[in-house]
């Protein structure tokens, strides 16, 4: 991925600051160098409001408006590493485009990304960011709880908002041999789960870590 000048960054968005984040992630268990390189390369400061750009490479979630957040880099890295663990996915469905950052990380890894966002204003902004970075990410303004069945099945599915239980429609759109990563729970307690579907369609579920995500809501907002 060849970055445009505005993506390079200076000061608190410089490569040195990004490298410090990478070392922090590595120290906290992120070992996949492909994932670390994608996070090093993709300019997170372009995915937050300009007023928050100096905090873009802190390992923390940041607000992006509409009651939504850009996820903590460790969470993005953990979810992405989990999708790649022992697998070579080609297609990935993302539920909850948000700022576009998670989708950009997936695209930087060479995956064919399909992303769905229910809040129209967020999606329009994310699309502009994808264009700025020259990324070919397919996106749709729709209710994420129904997924994107037209392009199913997907080798991997990543959900960036929490529901009390995993949505059956999303599990159905996962290909045999595929991996789904999603937070599950309510406002007081959430767990990051990994689901793997075997060749017979049987799903194995593994708990990964406690997390905090915004809720996965139905419907659409322009």
Domain ranges of the chain: 61-210
Give tens-digit pLDDT for 119-149.
999 999 999 999 999 999 999 999 999 999 9
Q: What pLDDT sits at residue 5?
A: 45
CATH number given to 61-210: 3.40.50.150
Instruction: Write out the catalytic residue numbers.
Output: 71
- The total of other beta-carbon atoms located within 10 Å of residue 113's CB is 27
CB 156 within 8 A of CB 93: yes
Q: What DSSP line would sit under 101-166, residue for residue? A: HHHHHHHHTT-EEEEEESBHHHHHHHHHHHHHTT---EEEES-GGG--GGG--EEEEEE-SBBSS-
Q: What pLDDT sits at residue 195?
A: 96
Secondary structure E strands in the chain: 62-65, 68-70, 91-95, 112-117, 138-141, 154-159, 174-185, 190-197, 203-210
**Residues in the chain with pLDDT < 70?**
1-12
Q: What pLDDT sits at residue 14?
A: 84
Q: What pLDDT sits at residue 8?
A: 53
Separation of first and last alpha carbons in the chain: 31
Q: What pLDDT sits at residue 178?
A: 96
Q: What pLDDT sits at residue 9?
A: 53
Q: What pLDDT sits at residue 86?
A: 87
Q: What pLDDT sits at residue 118?
A: 97
Instruction: Respond yes or no on whether the N-terminal peptide bond of residue 51 is cis (omega within 30° of 0).
Output: no
Q: What pLDDT sits at residue 177?
A: 94
């Amino acid at each position: 991925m060849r970055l445009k000048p505005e993506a390079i960054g200076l000061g608190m968005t410089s490569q040195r600051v990004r490298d410090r984040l990478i070392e922090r992630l590595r120290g906290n268990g992120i070992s996949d160098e492909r994932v670390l390189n994608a996070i090093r390369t993709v300019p997170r400061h372009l995915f937050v409001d300009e007023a928050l750009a100096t905090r873009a490479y802190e390992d923390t979630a940041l607000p992006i408006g509409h009651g939504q957040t850009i996820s903590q880099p460790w969470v993005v890295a953990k979810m992405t590493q989990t999708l790649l663990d022992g697998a070579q996915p080609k297609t990935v469905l993302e539920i909850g485009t948000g700022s576009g950052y998670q989708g950009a990380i997936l695209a930087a890894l060479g995956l064919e990304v399909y992303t769905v966002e229910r809040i129209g204003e967020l999606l329009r902004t994310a699309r502009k960011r994808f264009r700025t970075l020259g990324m070919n990410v397919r996106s749709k303004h729709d209710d994420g709880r129904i997924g994107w069945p037209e392009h199913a099945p997907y080798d991997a599915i990543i959900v960036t908002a929490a529901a009390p239980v995993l949505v059956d429609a999303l599990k159905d759109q996962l290909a045999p041999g595929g991996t789904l990563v999603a937070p599950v729970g309510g406002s007081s307690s959430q767990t990051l789960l990994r689901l793997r579907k075997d060749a017979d369609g049987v799903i194995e579920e593994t708990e990964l870590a406690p997390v905090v995500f915004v809720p996965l809501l139905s419907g659409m907002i322009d």
